[in-house]
Structure 1
Amino acid sequence: MTTSQLSDAAIQNLSKLFLSEKEEYLDDVAAAKIDNITVEMQWTRQTGPAWPPRPLSSSDDPVKRIVDGFKYFKTNYFDKHPHLVKELAQEQSPKFMVFACSDSRVCPSHILHFQPGEAFMVRNIANMVPAFDQLKHSGVGATIEYAIEELGSLWRDQEADVSSRKWFSSLAKVIAEAEGGSADFEDQCESCAREAVNLSLRNLQTYPYVQKAVSDKTLALRGGYYDFVNGIFELWELQSTISDPIIIQSS
């Protein structure tokens, strides 16, 4: 039997067990569990594998929590579903664009059971979408335009070079080109993506309350980059130093 046939057979058997034995042998808790498992298997059969649950971590170290979380994802999702990973490495063609609140308790991927590549997401405070304005709210506007007009077509060939570069921060692009100007287009895109993270870390430090929290050691800033083709996650701390001043004296 194929995997699909085995899955269908398991669902049918669970359904029969639930219907025939619920009243005679099973208490309400066990019956509810069988019902939930049956529904989950049917859903997974239609939409693909479910995201793995968050691993339990006994460590209070936030960096270790991130590392442990990625290792769990790599083992339980990435390595187990290479066909899905391979498809996503070629392109993305999401059917949904979701605006959601940044509230940590409201995760669209979990609530709506989205799989990677299925939904393009924007999260902010109160999931607000401002009215169109060419001078204000450029971040949200660019996101909407990108999702509607460009998504799924930018990375197919190097002819997309001009249109894709406009989506990167100009400073990040300049730094990436300066450090790897002779590299091929894909390598430059990766360098630019990493440098965009560094730019965001620098921008975060322009907020007075972030500066104070970092100074008081109640907040630590980290940058991250996920290589979804090879299943590699990088986590780093932005190192910034102040050089010795050049002293200029009048003659």
Structure 2
Amino acid sequence: MQAYRALLDGYRRFRSTGYPDQRRRWEALATGQEPPVMIIGCCDSRVDPATIFDTLPGEMFVLRNVANLVPPYEVGGGLHGVSAALEFAVTALNVKHVIVMGHGACGGIAASLAGDLDPEQSFIPGWIAMLDDAREKVVAEAPENPQRALELEGVKTSLANLRTFPFVAEREKAGSLMLHGLHFGVADGKLWALDEQTGEFDPVTEDA
């Protein structure tokens, strides 16, 4: 109960300071949202996009899941939470940027590398299987840091899968939508951006 009570205490602080300071913003947001950016990140508790990018409510449409994965486009069968959120962001909210953000020390990535997922689990093994091809590539290349290498390859996998969605591909081709890959280092707080021309991740400068 202590952790739950701590959340309620946080809400009370928000109501006493944060909400009054941003009251007009909240009132405006109650009429609708127009975020220019969608972030697809990991549900890991250490990598909150709003904290990393220092944003206000309404500035980002955020989707978080295990290992920041995007499945390939498909219709029928199952429930498509990622696909539904993506479709809403792109076709209804008309976001201008979709960003896939991986991160250091990702548990989903570590599980893929270890290959020791519990067969009794109902959902995680099938989800992490989206990384199988990327893992095989990393293992074959035998990098010095396979964990980070697969974190980066995972971002590329999700970007490739994003482009299988017709409404994403059409808008990217028309220039009305841009896709980006990022990687955030939990230990050092550094952000790396994918250059799709070179296939390399370059550090984002800390000076504007």
> Fold-level match, TM-score > 0.5?
no
What TM-score does the superposition give when structure 1 sets the normalisation length? Answer: 0.36
User: Larger relative CO (CA 8 A, sep 6+): 1 or 2?
Assistant: 2
More strand by share: 2
What TM-score does the superposition give when structure 2 sets the normalisation length? Answer: 0.43
